[in-house]
Each structure stands twice: as C-alpha cells, then as structure tokens.
Amino acid sequence: MRPQLNTRVMLVDDSEVACEALKHTLTSAGAEVVALTSPFGFIRALRESNPQVILLDIGLGTLNGTKLVELGRQHAPRGCSILLYSSREPQSLRDDAVSCGADGYIQKATTGAALVEAVRQWTTGVRRL
C-alpha cells in the first residue's frame, strides 16, 4: 500500500465534472486540493493555498491555460510544479508544456492510482519533462 499523498494541489479546469472527479481522486489519496472551475481568482487562490503542484487545463474557455502558466510562475511558491492537464495527445501536450514554460503535463486519461502516482512523482522530483 502506498503512503498518503501529503501534498497541496491546485486544479484549474472549466469542466465541473472533471474537476470534481480529479479532486475526489486526489483528496482520497490524502492531498489537500483547491479546485477552480474558471481562471478567475487564480492568483488569490494560488497565494492562499500555497500549492506544491498546479494542474491547469490547457483548454479553458475564457483564458488559455498556457497564459496561466505565466501567472503561476510569477506568483507560485518556489519549487511548485506547474503541469498542463488535457486530453490532447502526449506529443502535443509536451510541445505545449515546453513552449509555455510548464514543468510538464498529465493527460486527462490518466486516472486513479496512475494519476496519484504521477502527482507524487512531480512533488518528489522523480519526474521531469
């Protein structure tokens, strides 16, 4: 049995269903999760939650997630991993992550234990783009 995921995660996804499912998966594994279904309030929530990992949906309806990467870099705590979270193909996601300065990506198809393990690897520095 894996130890609890003792980390703080911020999610930004305009799909309420996806956001709730992801939040449930991560909180069930022991993470503290702040979830936003719009980019509005991102900076305030970022400062208040002090996350170790930020998962950003790249296809936000009102603002492209790659723009939030730039804001995240300016306001996130040092050492915070900023990851794109999308249903796009891995190569496309990797290219987007590189071009916008994100630390990496996780595909939305990654669920359950695999998702928890991916977040764990990003928080412990095991995984890098």
Q: 111-127, pLDDT tens digit by residue?
A: 889 999 999 988 887 76
In this prediction, residue 4 carries a pLDDT of 81
- Contact yes or no for 107/90 (Cβ under 8 A): yes
- Report the 10 Å Cβ neighbour count for 97: 21
Percent of the chain surpassing pLDDT 70: 95
The yes-or-no verdict on residue 56 having pLDDT over 70 is yes
Per-residue pLDDT tens digits for 13-42: 999 998 999 999 999 999 999 999 988 899
What single DSSP character describes residue 48? H
Q: Tell me: domain 8-124, CATH 3.40.50.2300, correct? A: yes
pTM of the prediction?
Answer: 0.91
Interval 86-111: pLDDT, tens: 989 999 999 999 999 999 999 999 98
pLDDT at 49: 94
Retrieve residue 33's tokens: 């999760």
